[in-house]
């Protein structure tokens, strides 16, 4: 329930007419969490006795991605590289109000532009980067050269950097100045190399389909059934609402054919395709993630192990959960995944884990 209020921080948020209703939902959400407490043990944070320090060079990168369902649904937008009607998307991060009333409208405004401006948000990894690509545009990624080498390791930095340096494309200083003045940056069309842009665009879309879908990321943690057996996977977090990290983990694993269980089970609600929440009540209006997990592919009974993989996840800048000793006794492999942004990137890691993934390196 608490995640409902957070929707205001992303694409659109609550209208003035719905403000009072949203406040009521927030209060009810707080009461719900307070009343539920941690009697079932699922909400307990990792204790100092159960944690250990792990050298940074012993971790692997965990990143966001694109749901295959969304990639397929937006396929028509990615053929627009020769039909652009805008030089830059009018959406300026941190400056432009979220005025897009539908998910399709949000994607379409990116699709019509050669470039969409993006930058680091709470962390370097941000859904906006992927939404721009999915919509058929190329990210103009501010300060891309400053991104740590261990973060977003599958992101096509070189392709995007090359596109940003094409003749006629403004410098980062010029783009920042335009943003500061509340204006949309412009291209110098007399110098702009459309043919070179089109070539990079095709390469970027091809790369994204192969490397940026949630299935690719999930396969780094749990091998796909093409080379291994279908795995029983338990994802454990102290959050009962989905974050982008948790979503892409579940979405990718389910699409790869694995049997995925979650603790607490409530985290699955907004991503299921039989979700009954109005999407505007979800974080970011549910854009790019809500309702994309086929509920018929989720197991009916998750009450018992053993599990082939036990994934302990820190998300929403929360701690890792305290591992369930009954699960750890029989789990085939235990993996710790820190999906937090930079504010929660250094959480103590469960000592029982044998492999470690971190979003912000």
* In a shared domain, residues 203 and 226: no
pLDDT (mean) for 315-324: 93
* In a shared domain, residues 51 and 80: no
Q: Could you tell me the residue range of the domain that residue 286 belongs to?
A: 38-62+215-358
In the predicted model, is pLDDT for residue 285 greater than 90? no
Distance of CA 63 to the CA centre of its chain: 7
* In a shared domain, residues 328 and 235: yes
Report the number of distinct structural domains present in the chain: 2
Mark which of 189, 212, 235 sits at the end of a domain.
212
Burial of 98 per CB tally in 10 Å (0-12, 13-18, 19+): middle
Q: Shortest CA distance to 179 belongs to which of 204, 214, 143, 207? A: 143
Taking only the tens place, the pLDDT of each residue in 123-142 is: 999 999 999 999 999 999 99
In the predicted model, is pLDDT for residue 10 greater than 50? no
* In a shared domain, residues 183 and 244: no
Q: Shortest CA distance to 305 belongs to which of 327, 324, 323? A: 327
Average per-residue pLDDT in the chain? 86
CB within 8 Å of 282: residues ≥ 6 apart: 3, 4, 7, 270, 290
pTM of structure? 0.86
What DSSP character marks residue 113? E
* In a shared domain, residues 221 and 99: no
Burial of 157 per CB tally in 10 Å (0-12, 13-18, 19+): middle
Is 159 among the domain residues? yes
**CA-to-CA distance for 278 and 283, rounded, in angstroms?**
11
pLDDT (mean) for 194-205: 96
* In a shared domain, residues 353 and 235: yes
pLDDT (mean) for 6-18: 44
Is 32 among the domain residues? no
* In a shared domain, residues 173 and 198: yes
- pLDDT-based confidence at residue 37 (cuts at 50, 70, 90): very low
* In a shared domain, residues 52 and 79: no
- pLDDT-based confidence at residue 183 (cuts at 50, 70, 90): very high
Is 8 among the domain residues? no
**CA-to-CA distance for 220 and 60, rounded, in angstroms?**
9
Mark which of 148, 179, 212 sits at the end of a domain.
212
Position 81 scores a pLDDT of 59
Q: What percent of the chain has pLDDT over 90?
A: 67
- pLDDT-based confidence at residue 44 (cuts at 50, 70, 90): confident
* Top-confidence residue, 292 or 280: 292
Is 4 among the domain residues? no
* In a shared domain, residues 77 and 57: no
Most confident range (mean pLDDT) of 34-38, 265-269, 332-336 is 332-336
Q: What percent of the chain has pLDDT over 70?
A: 86
Q: Shortest CA distance to 136 belongs to which of 77, 206, 67, 212? A: 77
In the predicted model, is pLDDT for residue 229 greater than 90? no
pLDDT (mean) for 2-26: 44
In the predicted model, is pLDDT for residue 12 greater than 60? no
Pairing label, strands 113-118, 138-141: parallel
Is 118 among the domain residues? yes
In the predicted model, is pLDDT for residue 1 greater than 50? no
- pLDDT-based confidence at residue 242 (cuts at 50, 70, 90): confident
Range scoring the smallest mean pLDDT among 14-23, 188-197, 215-224: 14-23
* In a shared domain, residues 240 and 123: no
CB within 8 Å of 323: residues ≥ 6 apart: 46, 50, 236, 310, 312, 334, 350, 352
Q: Shortest CA distance to 176 belongs to which of 98, 114, 95? A: 95
* In a shared domain, residues 76 and 205: yes
**CA-to-CA distance for 194 and 202, rounded, in angstroms?**
12
CB within 8 Å of 295: residues ≥ 6 apart: 272, 273, 274
Taking only the tens place, the pLDDT of each residue in 250-279 is: 999 999 999 999 999 988 988 999 988 788
- The β-bridge partners of 295 are none
CB within 8 Å of 198: residues ≥ 6 apart: 81, 82
What DSSP character marks residue 279? G
* In a shared domain, residues 239 and 296: yes
Phi-psi group of 317: left, alpha or beta (phi > 0 → left; psi -120 to 50 → alpha; rest → beta)? left
In the predicted model, is pLDDT for residue 161 greater than 50? yes
């Amino acid at each position: 329930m608490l995640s409902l209020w957070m929707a205001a921080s992303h694409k659109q948020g609550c209208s003035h007419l719905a403000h009072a209703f949203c406040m009521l939902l927030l209060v009810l959400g707080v009461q719900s969490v307070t009343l539920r407490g941690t009697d079932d043990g699922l909400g307990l944070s990792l204790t100092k006795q159960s944690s250990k320090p792990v050298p940074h060079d012993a971790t692997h990168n965990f990143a966001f991605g694109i749901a295959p369902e969304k990639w397929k649904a937006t396929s028509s937008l990615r053929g627009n590289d020769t039909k652009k009607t805008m030089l830059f998307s009018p959406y300026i991060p941190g400056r432009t109000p979220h005025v897009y009333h539908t998910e399709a409208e949000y994607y379409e405004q990116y699709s019509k532009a050669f470039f969409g401006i993006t930058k680091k948000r709470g962390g370097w990894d941000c859904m906006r980067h992927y939404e721009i690509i999915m919509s058929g545009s190329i990210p103009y990624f501010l300060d891309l050269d400053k991104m740590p080498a261990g973060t977003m390791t599958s992101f096509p930095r070189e392709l995007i950097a090359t596109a940003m340096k094409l003749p006629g494309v403004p410098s980062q200083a010029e783009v920042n100045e335009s943003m500061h003045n509340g204006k949309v940056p412009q291209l110098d069309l007399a110098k702009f190399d459309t043919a070179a842009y089109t070539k990079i665009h095709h390469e970027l879309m091809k790369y994204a389909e192969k490397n940026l879908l949630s299935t690719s990321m999930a396969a780094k943690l749990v091998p796909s059934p093409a080379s291994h057996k279908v795995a029983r996977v338990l994802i454990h977090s102290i959050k009962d609402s989905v974050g982008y990290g948790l979503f892409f983990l579940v979405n990718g694993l389910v699409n790869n054919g694995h049997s995925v269980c979650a603790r607490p089970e409530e985290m699955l609600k907004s991503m299921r395709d039989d979700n009954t929440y109005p999407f505007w009540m979800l974080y970011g209006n549910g854009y790019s993630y809500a309702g994309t997990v086929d509920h018929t592919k989720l197991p009916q009974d998750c009450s018992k192990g053993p599990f082939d993989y036990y994934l302990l996840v820190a998300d929403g800048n929360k701690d890792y959960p305290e591992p369930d000793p009954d699960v750890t006794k029989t789990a085939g492999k235990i993996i710790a995944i820190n999906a937090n942004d930079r504010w929660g990137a250094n959480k103590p890691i469960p000592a029982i884990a044998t492999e470690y993934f971190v979003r912000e390196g």
